[in-house]
A and B are shown apart, each in its own frame.
Chain A
Amino acid sequence: NAGVTQTPKFQVLKTGQSMTLQCAQDMNHNSMYWYRQDPGMGLRLIYYSASEGTTDKGEVPNGYNVSRLNKREFSLRLESAAPSQTSVYFCASSEGSLNTEAFFGQGTRLTVV
């Protein structure tokens, strides 16, 4: 049972380049999330999708776009990467109700030079 799978695991970008982080879950969860974690800090919500076909901004959405491709997949796109976007990115999924935990992918370590 794979759970939440993120690709790639590591990426180095030059300033101004674009890329898409992929995330897929096989737990039939309704809700999916993208977080970023900067060194020594907690996770901050970038975007989330409460259900297929919907997306909403989180705490730090600037510089990112998302697509909920279907129930399984939720991608995060950086259109023009900046050094400030150097971080570890986590995708997560949950059933979406109040009392269910989120399951996390293993993270993508992104460096923008």
Chain B
Amino acid sequence: AQKITQTQPGMFVQEKEAVTLDCTYDTSDPSYGLFWYKQPSSGEMIFLIYQGSYDQQNATEGRYSLNFQKARKSANLVISASQLGDSAMYFCAVGRALTFGSGTRLQVQP
């Protein structure tokens, strides 16, 4: 079984500042993938970034980066230079048949 824990139900950040969204996971798979998705108020699921369990480097994708600490089983999402359009729910997920966390609602304030 797999489990994702996102301990921050809601976060506020000022526009142009960086923010870190926490994610810890538990899986018995020796190899696995970690994913972050964004869900704006319109409801669609948007893929943001992927981290493989055996990747040597932390993943980056534009303003998104992952702080991956395998020994701690954490995969925190860092959003740099926040924009108003970043306001949304953010979900961490693990595995082929994705197991999702409960999400973090991020609100970017002007």
B and A form one assembly: yes
- A residues apposed to B, CB below 8 Å: 31, 33, 35, 41-45, 48, 50, 56, 58-59, 88, 90, 92, 94, 96-99, 101-104, 106-107
- B residues apposed to A, CB below 8 Å: 4, 6, 31-33, 35, 43-45, 47, 50, 52, 91, 93, 96-103
Can you list 14 A-B contacts (CB < 8 A)?
A: A41-B103, A42-B6, A42-B100, A42-B101, A42-B102, A43-B91, A43-B100, A48-B97, A59-B99, A92-B98, A102-B98, A104-B44, A106-B44, A107-B43
Inter-chain contacts of B50 with A (CB < 8 A):
99, 101
Inter-chain contacts of A98 with B (CB < 8 A):
31-33, 52, 96
A45 with B101: in contact, given A90-B45, A99-B52, A104-B45 (CB under 8 Å)?
no
Inter-chain contacts of A92 with B (CB < 8 A):
45, 98
Considering the chains assembled together, what is the distance between the CA atoms of A96 and B43 in angstroms?
A: 24
B89 → chain A, closest Cβ, in Å?
9
Inter-chain contacts of B102 with A (CB < 8 A):
41-42
B78 → chain A, closest Cβ, in Å?
19
Residue of A nearest to B1 (CB): A59
Residue among B32, B35, B43, B96 facing the most chain A CB atoms (10 A cut-off): B96
* A31–B96 CB distance below 8 A: yes
Inter-chain contacts of A88 with B (CB < 8 A):
43
A45 with B97: in contact, given A102-B47, A104-B45 (CB under 8 Å)?
yes
Partner of B96, one of A59, A96, A104, A107: A96
Considering the chains assembled together, what is the distance between the CA atoms of A82 and B51 in angstroms?
A: 38
Considering the chains assembled together, what is the distance between the CA atoms of A99 and B94 in angstroms?
A: 11
* B44–A107 CB distance below 8 A: yes
Considering the chains assembled together, what is the distance between the CA atoms of A53 and B75 in angstroms?
A: 34
Inter-chain contacts of B47 with A (CB < 8 A):
101-103
Considering the chains assembled together, what is the distance between the CA atoms of A87 and B22 in angstroms?
A: 26
A95 → chain B, closest Cβ, in Å?
10
